[in-house]
Structures are given as C-alpha cells and as structure tokens.
Chain A
Amino acid sequence: MMRILKAFWHAAEIEEDGGGYIDERHAVFVVDKPLGKK
C-alpha cells in the first residue's frame, strides 16, 4: 500500500486548509466511421 500512498501524495495538490484534489484529464475521442465501411 505504501507505493499507492506515495503515488497519491505525489498526485494530490494539498491546499492551505488541509483539503486536497487530484488534477484529472479525460480524453474525449470523436471517431468517424467512413461511409464505405461496414
């Protein structure tokens, strides 16, 4: 579990009031299916 905790502390931004958050990015793919493809 230590590795997870390390990763967590590394990823989390700790705020002045003791709160914290992790910056996320979600990839949104829009994929066109060609007209000729079944």
Chain B
Amino acid sequence: MLAQATPARPTPAKRHVLHPQASPKKKPKGKRRHAKKSEDGAGKEKFAPPLEPAFASECYAALKHASTATEAIAAWVVEHCQLLVAPPREESHSTSAAAAAEAQAQAQAQATSAELASMPGMPALAAIAASSAAAKPPREPAGAFMVLSVGCGDGELDLELLIALSAALAAAAPEGVAPRSLHYVGLEPNSADAAAFTARLDEARVAGRLPSGVVAYVLEEAFDSKAPSQRAAASSAPAAASAVDDSNGSGSADAARRYFGSKHQFDLVVAAGVLASFSGNTHTALQRLLASTRAGGRMLVVQPAKGVPELQSQLMKLACGNEAALLAADEVKRQLAQLKLPPYTMELVPARLHCGDCLARNAAGLQVPRPLPLLCAPSRALVRRASSDPSALFWVVCLPSHDSLARGGGDVVPPPSLRSSRAAWAATCASCASQR
C-alpha cells in the first residue's frame, strides 16, 4: 500500500462569488476547434467506455489514499454545512416571521396563565391549562431534508456530509421545534463501491456516529441518461410500475446497468468529482442535476481545478488526439453560465496528491502490482480508457517513470535523488525484463 498522505499545507480556501452572466459564454477557439475535429472524426470515441468496476474501485481507492483531497473537501463541507441547509432567502424571511409570531403567542399564553393563577378560585384551572400545554407535542418539522448524492463512491466523503448535515439541521431548528429529519439517497453504479458504502453506513450506525433518525441508503444505479438500447426498450414497452429501470437481459454492459429515475426533487443534490463520468455532455448532466433539485434547493458540485487536469490534458492528447473531453472546473463554470441561474459561489480547496512512494519505488510503492502491465505496454486502448478517469490516470501518471527509465530515459531527466534507483525500477518489472 502507499504511505498515508500527509496533510495539505494550511492554505486558506479561496472563495469567489461568480455571476454567471459575467463568465465567458464561448469556449476558447482552440478548444472548440479540437471538439469539432473530434466530432467530425468518424468512428472516433468521444468518451471512453467505463472502467471495469473492480479496477475502477481499486484505482479510486489508491488515488484517495495518496491524496488529501477527500479529507480537505470533507473539512470544507463540515465548515459550510449551515450554508447547505439554510432556507432560500424568501423562505428564510417567512420562516423567521413565523417563529417570531409563535414566540409572541407563547408569551401571551404565559401571561394569561399567570393572570388566571392570581385570580381567586382559578389556580386549578391555570394548572390544567399549563399541563395541557406541556403535553402538546412539538410542532411537526417542515418535512424531511432530502439529499441525493450522484456517484457517492465508497462514501468516505458522504458519510462526513451526512453527519455534518444532521448536526446542521438540528442547529438550524427554532427552539421548541423538532429539527427536520434527514433522508439521504446515494447513487453508485459500481457494485464494489456501493457495497463498501453500505457497510460504512452500518458501521457508523453501530458506532453511534450516525444519528438513528437519519434515513440513508445506497442504490446501485446510475444517474446517467439511459443507453440508446434502453431508451428504445423503454419507449416501446409500457411504463414500469417501478421508478427504476431493470436490466433488459441482453447481457451488454449498458443493459446490465440500472438507471435511477425519480420524479421527486431534492433539497440538496451532490455531484462530487463525477461530472466527467456522464455519457452525455456536461451541459445535459448539469441540467439533469438541476432538474432533480427542488426550487429553492441547492447543488453541490465538486470538480478538479488544478493538478490532475493538466496531466490529464496531456494524456488525452496522446490517447484521443485532443483534449475535448477534458472536464475541469473552468468548463463547469462555462456550463453554469448557460443555465441562467443566480450568482453561485465557488471555492478552491487545496490538497496534495502524493506520488513519492511510486517515484521512489520504495517498499510501499512496489506493492502495487496492477499498473505495471499498463505502464510497460501502454496500449492505446488502455490509455484511452484511463484518460477520462482521474483515478485511473493516477496509475498512468505516477508510475510511467518506471517504463521510461527502464527503456533508456528518453529526454525526461528525473531529479538526482531518483536517478540512482533506475536499475531498481527496471529490475522490478517482469514485463520489462522479458522484453530485454
């Protein structure tokens, strides 16, 4: 395993309030030209097919282990969860007015009770009124706070989100009013990750970290739009009673995948690092996320802005000939600008992706057997598959020095501290050894 990542430097997160209208509405000319070229190219894949679930899960786990991003984003969520549960402005005004009216009525009732108690022969009546008021159950909450998390993964971030939201809802409830309950639905089409999150939820409940009133479950379903074959099947068949479409039994990967469908809208829709996984374009994906958000609700979208995207760009140029499919934070900003929404906030959360173990090929780094075939024989197909997935990219980026140095180094010169390990790197790869 890789060594545990050390905490990021305490650089404060930068916060921006962005006015969508002020954002550039057009893509840079170069990028647009690349995109057009890709669309024109007959037979070229615009989006890579999904990685196998087990491999994707392995890559994701390794990336998380090496990066401080998950804990940094979780810390941001814990710090800002009050913002996520706060009612919209108009509703906030009406809620505070209702609370003030209720407090005034309560004060008036107490004054009346005191007046009754002071009158001769009335203390008994006052006592009955007081006990009746005490027995009255708290006012019903406004309804459950509904959360939909798209591509929740193994739930490391979402569990922290759940705990923070539960606490924030309790803190936001007016005095004497029961807090809104929390209802969470996680969507994760990767069976391995969905099972891991379910186990994580069970463990948190047993440990008492997750309040008993929180309803949380994970559905092994995709939020994506349906595959063409499923769309055709759905249009020809009568509407199913279930909101979820089952496999049509054709045996293909698309057919085996289950798709989430619900007319319900959620108070908070979370999409953390998953926008690149949708098969459609980003604009459509954001529209679908927005459609699942109730009026007055919020979307929480997390997307890499710096670090991996620069490397991903180079890999995409190699694998696909252009970087049209690259989806970083700038592209999200461009797409949000086209949705005609009020100003939104964006903060940059700093993190570190550690690649020291892989670079140094030390004991921890050498315990990663899986990427060696990928790196020693980087077939175009494998690289293309990895290029759309930042977690798989981790394998490609953080270990290619091994292949490069084993074959002579080329024009890439590693720092002096790493040159001495060149022979050790080559010796560790059976594939390279067999080629020599």
User: Please, which residues of chain A bring their CB within 8 A of the CB of B356?
Assistant: 15, 17-21
Q: Is B53 an interface residue (CB 8 A)?
A: no
Considering the chains assembled together, what is the distance between the CA atoms of A8 and B345 in angstroms?
31
CB contact between A33 and one of B72, B296, B303, B329 (< 8 Å): that residue: B296
Chain B residue at smallest Cβ distance from A37: B295
User: Please, which residues of chain B bring their CB within 8 A of the CB of A7?
Assistant: 310-311, 313-314
Considering the chains assembled together, what is the distance between the CA atoms of A1 and B374 in angstroms?
12
- A5, A17, A36 — most chain B CB neighbours (10 Å): A5
Known: A5-B401, A14-B415, A31-B336. A26 touches B69 (CB 8 A): yes
CB contact between B302 and one of A2, A5, A23, A29 (< 8 Å): that residue: A29
Are A28's CB and B314's CB within 8 A?
A: no
Known: A11-B311, A32-B342, A32-B344. A26 touches B72 (CB 8 A): yes
CB contact between A18 and one of B295, B359, B397 (< 8 Å): that residue: B359
Nearest Cβ on chain A to B4's Cβ, whole angstroms: 13
User: Please, which residues of chain A bring their CB within 8 A of the CB of B297?
Assistant: 32-33
CB contact between B301 and one of A16, A19, A20, A31 (< 8 Å): that residue: A31
Nearest Cβ on chain B to A2's Cβ, whole angstroms: 5
Interface size on B, residues (CB 8 A): 73
Segment at the A interface, from B201-209, B224-232, B245-253, B346-354: B346-354
Are A1's CB and B400's CB within 8 A?
A: yes
Interface size range of chain A in the complex: 35 or more
Nearest Cβ on chain B to A24's Cβ, whole angstroms: 3
Q: Is B318 an interface residue (CB 8 A)?
A: yes
Considering the chains assembled together, what is the distance between the CA atoms of A21 and B401 in angstroms?
14
CB contact between B329 and one of A4, A19, A23, A27 (< 8 Å): that residue: A27
Are B344's CB and A28's CB within 8 A?
A: no
Considering the chains assembled together, what is the distance between the CA atoms of A17 and B306 in angstroms?
25
Nearest Cβ on chain A to B255's Cβ, whole angstroms: 32
Are A24's CB and B304's CB within 8 A?
A: yes
Are A3's CB and B317's CB within 8 A?
A: yes
Q: Is B218 an interface residue (CB 8 A)?
A: no
Q: Is B298 an interface residue (CB 8 A)?
A: yes
CB contact between A34 and one of B308, B332, B342, B352 (< 8 Å): that residue: B342
Are B346's CB and A3's CB within 8 A?
A: no
State which residues 321-346 of B face A: CB under 8 Å: 329, 332, 336, 341-342, 344-346
Nearest Cβ on chain B to A8's Cβ, whole angstroms: 5
User: Please, which residues of chain A bring their CB within 8 A of the CB of B273?
Assistant: 26
Are B318's CB and A1's CB within 8 A?
A: yes
Known: A27-B332, A28-B300. A33 touches B308 (CB 8 A): no
Are B351's CB and A33's CB within 8 A?
A: no
Chain B residue at smallest Cβ distance from A36: B295
6 A-B contacts, Cβ less than 8 Å apart?
A: A1-B318, A23-B350, A23-B352, A26-B305, A34-B296, A37-B341
**A residues within 8 Å of B by Cβ?**
1-9, 11-12, 14-38
Shortest beta-carbon contacts, A-B, top 4: A19-B356, A24-B307, A27-B329, A25-B306
